[in-house]
Amino acid sequence: MTHADISFRALTALALASAYLLAAAQTAPPAATTTPPTTAQDEAPLKPGDAPRLVRGAGGGGGGIPIERAFPPILEGQWTGKRLPDGQPDVQGHWSNTIGNHNNWTDPQGGIPGDPATRNRPQRPRAERAPSRVSDPADGQVPFQPWARAAQQEFLANFHNPTKPQYIEPLARCAPGGVPKSFIWHGYEIRQFPNYVVFLFNSGTRVIHLDGKKHLPANIKLWNADSRGHWEGNTLVVDVTNNNGKALFGRTGEFASENVHIVERYIFDPKGERYNYVATITDPTVYTRPWTATIPARKYTYKDKPNGWHFEVSLANHDGTEPLLDREERICTENNGGFGNVAK
């Protein structure tokens, strides 16, 4: 992998009011409680409208941060919520995935295999952890061609002691998370403008064009690819091309090439409080067949308590009375704690 020069967006710094922060911490609702012991009812498949099942800190974003081990499907249909002046469903706000970070793509709460620094966190049995982000095929594994599986396994075997540049995770070099990894690397903000949906990720910005323009020329390759979308009721459908193939899906090394084609479906619930990201990923140079990734997400508001992973905001200091959330810019420094590993 080569080290690309990455230009990150500059956010305007706003003064922060410590009193507001203290008040937010004191008045926010408490985090969800730990799930009771597993029962047969717990293991029954969730249906649309069912409440998610939570665990706390099981490999996703630090101890005490609640994450889900099961989540309900969301059906595609009509949008019945608020709309913006240009007719788009209003889904603006702060969002984060609900089942864990980017440590492990196919076992979101299982940690990095072979991790020498597990911090003595107890590990639940696999059946009590969130399902694989690979929702098709049914075995939860990326359908790699043999050479690609060998490359993924080689990366994973060397992740904790990377003696070659290709064993270093791109995020350790402050590169953008890419598609689809950005959805499982910290929380993010969605903003909407006429003909555009914009994602402000922790590791870069992604713009989805809704104006019907054609994709960029095929020879232009980008970390966050090129996205052209449209709304179908409660679902944002996005066609993704021009991926440079440099970003990995997780610290377990799953990947696509620059030939990958992704069709994303962001399926929002009627209240605009959750959505499921369902993406069909096709790359005949890497996989034996198209496959599907599913990532559930929930919306955070000022009523939620900020934390160090899903919801990294402060209350802005301003003259009005409405609480305004201010996303802080995360400064990335190569090989700072938690971003990656260096050779021993």
In terms of average pLDDT, the best of 3-17, 45-59, 141-155, 313-327 is 141-155
**DSSP 8-state code for residue 19:** H
Q: What is the DSSP string of 151-209?
A: HHHHHHHHTTS--SGGGS-GGGGT----TTGGGGSS-EEEEEETTEEEEEETTEEEEEE
User: If you average pLDDT over every residue of the chain, what do you get?
Assistant: 82
Query: In which residue are the tokens 């091309």 written?
Result: 241
- This prediction's pTM: 0.81
Give, in order, the Cα–Cα distances in Å from 172 to each of 3, 35, 114, 176: 11, 34, 19, 10
Q: Tokens in use for 80?
A: 């019945």
User: Which sign does the torsion angle of CA 141, 339, 189, 71 carry?
Assistant: positive
Distance CA 251, CA 238 (A): 25
pLDDT in tens, 157-182: 999 999 999 999 898 888 999 999 99
Query: Residues of the chain with pLDDT > 70: what percent?
Result: 76
Residue ranges covered by each domain of the chain: 18-327
Select from 322, 308, 301, 314 the least CA-distant residue to 29: 301
Mean pLDDT of 44-56: 59
End-to-end CA distance of the chain: 20
**54-63, 221-230, 231-240: lowest mean pLDDT where?**
54-63
Contacts of 319 (CB under 8 A, 6+ apart): none
Distance CA 111, CA 100 (A): 9
Amino acid 318: pLDDT: 84
Residue 198 near residue 236 (C-beta atoms within 8 A)? no
Please say if the pLDDT value at position 106 is more than 50: yes
Query: In which residue are the tokens 């995770």 written?
Result: 169
Distance CA 267, CA 270 (A): 10
pLDDT in tens, 287-337: 999 999 999 999 999 888 888 788 888 888 888 888 888 777 777 766 555
Q: Tokens in use for 325?
A: 């959330």
Residue 267 near residue 234 (C-beta atoms within 8 A)? yes
**Peptide bond before 137: cis, by omega within 30 degrees of 0?**
yes
Q: Tokens in use for 126?
A: 């696999």
Listed as own residue / partner, the contacts of 307-310 with beta carbons closer than 8 Å and 24 or more positions apart are 307/61, 307/62, 307/65, 308/61, 308/62, 308/65, 309/60, 309/61, 309/62, 309/65, 309/96, 309/101, 309/186, 309/187, 310/61, 310/65, 310/96, 310/97, 310/186, 310/187
Amino acid 321: pLDDT: 84
